[in-house]
Amino acid sequence: CALPISLVVAVRMGLGHLRAAAPLADALGVPISRADLPPLAGPLEARAWAALTDGYEGLSRRAAEGGPARMALDAITRIPEGGEGAADVASILHDLAVRAGLGSKLAEAGQTIVSTFYTPALAAEHAGVPAVCVVTDTDCARAWVAPRPRGLRYAAPVDEVVTRLRSYGVAAENIERTGFPLPRTLVAGAE
């Protein structure tokens, strides 16, 4: 699964995605590139990311109290039961956003990337740019995979994520079970 990575990409969506990107960027001797800030995000896209992040973080805080906020967060982050892999509303809407230009500046960079959030990785995949998407949790929602998976490679921290990605239609050869932290052998030039 070793690809010559030239760009480590993350977004601020909580701290988990930035934390996962830090050791990768350190190993490669590059800074973390933020897909939610210029220059990878244009002014309109940066505002959209900020609104999305603020909305998600606010909803997460209110969800702790239960009620409608909890139900809304559960619907957004729903992970299908029993290996159900068909594209859901979140993955279809996300795919439409990528096709409409979300992440296009990242794709224009034309560099092989490793991303700790699915949006930049899916944007790269859509543009034909080689990418590795690092799943940063012990499971992943359907939104992490395009409705019709193509060549995007995934770094899965645990066997359950490998199984989940396969249920979403990701080819076995595009999934590497890496654990956390990622082994140095995964990324060419990391040693």
The CA–CA distances, whole Å, from 93 to 96, 100, 111, 124 equal 5, 10, 25, 17
Residues 124-137: pLDDT tens digits? 888 888 889 999 88
Instruction: Please tell me the distance from the alpha carbon of residue 125 to that of residue 90, in angstroms, as a whole number.
Output: 18
- Dump pLDDT digits (tens) for 142-171: 888 888 888 899 999 999 999 999 999 999
Contact 129, 7 (CB under 8 A): no
Say which amino acid occupies 143. A
Q: In this structure, how many other beta carbons lie within 10 angstroms of the beta carbon of residue 185?
A: 11
Distance between CA atoms of residues 50 and 61, nearest Å: 16
Helices of type H across 31-187: 43-63, 67-76, 89-99, 104-109, 118-127, 159-167
Computed over every residue of the chain, the mean pLDDT equals 81
The pTM score is 0.80
